[in-house]
Chains A and B, each alone.
Chain A
Amino acid sequence: MPPAVKSKKSVALPAKVPTARKSKFQADLAPSEDSMVRILKTELQMTSNTDFLTDALALLRWAVSERKRGHHIISESSTGERKILLFPRLERVAPEVTLPHVDIHWTDKELESLAELASGQPADPTDALIRAMRQ
């Protein structure tokens, strides 16, 4: 027999999924750059600036990810001639953590001094060091 009073069951409503807002991108281009965009769009058979920007972004993103992994971006001609892309901004993301190992000549006194410094509390950073890390 069903209960006289129906109890309300709390039903979990699906969380409202926020819709991603599309952002607008506007750029001031020099006439030569504007012309370059038009030529590239024609060559690539693109009609919209959005498609152009999307593809350019994908290409730049790929280049950044490759350089971040330490890979070089190289073009190779049919005769085997290779050219390495050297793009200053990309060089900023390249990891350079692989350093070779060398032996250092230490005097006993230097080792004692090194051990004392390394086993103690680290010094506070100087202003110049803070500025350097801010750069």
Chain B
Amino acid sequence: MAVTIRRLEESDGVEGFDCGDEPLNNYLKHHAWTNQQKVSIGVTYAAVDESAPRTVLGYFTLATSSVPRDRFPQKYVRGLPPYDLPLILLARLAVDKRFSGKGLGHAMIAEALKITLRVADEVGCRCIITDAYPDKAGWYARYGFLPLEGTAATSPQKMFLDVRTIRRALSSESSSAERK
């Protein structure tokens, strides 16, 4: 299986997609393309196999956001840059259950984090935030996402990963490659 991750295309096959979660299925089938192409509120990336390059096996959606500086508590403002805090929202990530356990989730989070770094390099962003289902928070934590306190019990868990941590991971990767 040779997986490619690229932007969702209008002609991609999404009808058969089933990750076992109806809101995530529904988003891909009915909203992802519109949100990306027509109203531009999120870009969806599709994982496809090179042997069937139109069938979506997994997807994730990214958007940018920011927090106005004046919304932060005063005691932390001094430690932050004197601007609104730009961030990336990893809004959704799902794998078709027929392909779960094959490393697609890992490949997609890796791609999402690489895009995050590219965005940080191109236009600036400080962190990536995700809304994780409570039973998936441990999976995100493996990649260094930290849970934010104060999420309502009925809401998905907001989690934070600093762009500087991602950069460190990349430089760890570079230095280990140089040692080889």
Contacts and interface: CB of A to CB of B under 8 A. Distances in A.
B122 interface: yes
Interface in A82-118: 84, 86, 88, 91-92, 94-104, 106-118
Given A86-B9, A104-B65, A123-B162, A133 B80 contact: no
A101 B64 contact: yes
Interface string B77-88: 111100001001
Contacts, number: 175
Contacts of B77: 115
A31 interface: no
Interface size class of A (residues with CB under 8 A): 35 or more
Contacts of A97: 115, 118-119, 122-123
A3 interface: no
Interface residues of B, number: 68
Contacts of B115: 96-97
Contact of A100 (B43, B80, B172): B43
A11 interface: no
A116 B76 contact: yes
Given A100-B42, A126-B143, 11 more contacts: A84-B9, A96-B115, A100-B63, A107-B152, A109-B149, A112-B76, A113-B150, A125-B166, A130-B173, A131-B106, A135-B107
Interface of A: 84, 86, 88, 91-92, 94-104, 106-120, 122-126, 128-135
